[in-house]
Amino acid sequence: MPVIKSSADLINNYIEISDFCHKHKELVFLTRNGEGDLAVMSIETYEEMAGRNELYRLIQEGIDDIENGRILTEEEVIKNMQLAIGK
């Protein structure tokens, strides 16, 4: 269940909200005038999420390459690796 706080709670209880985000590694959703406005998370949670998103992007890029015939044989990969290291 998401944690929802008002923007006033952020102003008045910053340390409590910060501690919650770090301890539980969860988002806190902030409202403004009763409407959703922001999502707050710890830097660690953000970096983990960004890393996952990058991994998913790279996996999708690989899937797209396979689907579009952009593949190399084992021999081509080895040759490219040897060229890269100067052999």
CA distance 21 to 25: 5
Chain mean pLDDT for the chain? 96
Q: Is 21 exposed, middle or buried (0-12, 13-18, 19+ CB in 10 A)?
A: buried
The pLDDT value recorded for residue 45 is 97
Q: Which two tokens stand for residue 76?
A: 């081509």
> Which of the four pLDDT bands, split at 50, 70 and 90, describes residue 87?
confident
| Mean local confidence (pLDDT), 5-18 | 96
Is residue 9 classed exposed, middle or buried when 0-12, 13-18 and 19+ CB atoms within 10 A define those classes? middle
Q: Which residue spans within 1-87 are E strands per DSSP?
A: 3-6, 28-32, 35-40
Query: What's the pTM?
Result: 0.74
